[in-house]
A and B are shown apart, each in its own frame.
Chain A
Amino acid sequence: MDCRSPLAKVRGLGSAKSGTLHWWMQRVTAVALIPLSYWLITFLNLSFHAPYQYMVVWLIAPVNTVCIIAWVLAAFYHAALGLQVVIEDYIAAEGIKIIAVWTVNISFFMLVLAALVAVFRILLVG
């Protein structure tokens, strides 16, 4: 049911209609990231100390590959959603706000691709 007056509709007032999905996906990715953080921490700890061959063997084990890729997808999505909220809170000018959100989304999309390409390169060699 729509309780808004015709004038309010024309002016574009009221809900933006797509906020629920944003809020929901923020929670879905957050839940996913609780267990997946274990793989991130293990990966980072290994990258500090483990010899190269050990690192590669760990990464190409199917469980670890799947969980690291899942972490990449969830974490970068979660980050882009979160940064969008921060941008919308602190930038009032509509144009700059839209450009900033788009820049964040495109940058994180490219970073996801770069991470996945790197993982696949390791899989091919290892």
Chain B
Amino acid sequence: MAAPSNRPTSPHLQAYKLPLTGIISITHRITGVLLSGGLVFFVVIMSVIAEGLQSYDNMQVLTAFWPIKLIYWGFSYALVFHLCHGVRHFIWDAGKSFDRDTMDRYALIELCISLIITINMLLFL
């Protein structure tokens, strides 16, 4: 049952400045979709390893290029960010931290932690 499309809609996104938690919320969704697409690369890498030494070495020639590494860093941050905001969803599921002060504070905390974890991850790369 699709809603009738010729009816006026009330202004929302174009008339409303998203708070930090709102920006993070839509970023959580966007990173989720991107990470889902990125799962294909996992299957490709695993299949390449199954193919044997030759194709594995060929893959490493390709992944040594800096644009590939840049994309990998992007995916790494997207993963950690998505995980950190996921933890925040568990806090919300528990019925906590809905007041405005903790909203912004938790948002900053999760951004900082996700950045720290990603940098640590890439240092070991």
Shortest C-beta distance, A25 to chain B (Å), equals 14
Contact B39 A79 (CB under 8 A): yes
Does B2 lie within 8 Å of A93, measured CB to CB?
yes
- Min CB–CB distance A91 → chain B (angstroms): 9
A106 within 8 A of B: no
Query: How many angstroms from the CA of A116 to the CA of B90 in the assembled complex?
Result: 30
**B49, A49: Cβ atoms closer than 8 Å:** no
| Contact (Cβ within 8 A) A44 B45 | yes
Interface size bracket, B side: 35 or more
Q: List, in ascending order, chain A residues with CB within 8 A of B46's CB.
A: 115, 118-119, 122
What's the nearest-Cβ distance from chain A to residue B46, in Å? Answer: 4
Interface residues as binary, A39-78 with B (CB distance below 8 Å gives 1, 0 otherwise): 0110011011100100110010000000000001001100
The size of the chain A interface, using a CB distance under 8 A, is 38
Q: What's the least CB distance linking B71 to chain A, in Å?
A: 12
A114–B47 CB distance below 8 A: yes
Q: Let me know if B25 is at the binding interface, CB within 8 A.
A: no
Residues facing B in A14-40 (CB within 8 A) are 27, 30-31, 33-34, 37, 40
By a CB distance below 8 angstroms, the chain B residues around A76 are: 39
Complexed CA–CA distance, A40 and B49 (Å): 15
Q: Are A55 and B56 in touch, CB under 8 angstroms? A: yes
A122 touches B49 (CB 8 A): yes
A79-B36 in contact (CB<8A): yes
Task: Tell me which of B1, B5, B79, B86 contacts A30 (CB under 8 A).
Answer: B86
Contact with A along B42-71 (1 / 0, CB 8 A): 110111011011001101100100000100
A2 at the interface (CB under 8 A from B): no
User: Is B20 at the interface (CB under 8 A from chain A)?
Assistant: no
Given A79-B35, A86-B29: A49 and B47 within 8 A (CB)? no
Interface of chain B residues 76 through 103 with chain A (CB within 8 A)? 76, 79, 83, 86-87, 89-90, 93
Q: Which of B33, B57, B79, B125 contacts A52 (CB 8 A)?
A: B57
B49 touches A47 (CB 8 A): yes
The 4 A-B pairs of least Cβ separation, nearest first, read: A79-B36, A121-B50, A118-B46, A118-B50
**Interface on A for B, CB 8 Å cutoff?**
27, 30-31, 33-34, 37, 40-41, 44-45, 47-49, 52, 55-56, 59, 72, 75-76, 79-80, 82-83, 86, 92-94, 108, 111, 114-115, 117-119, 121-122, 125
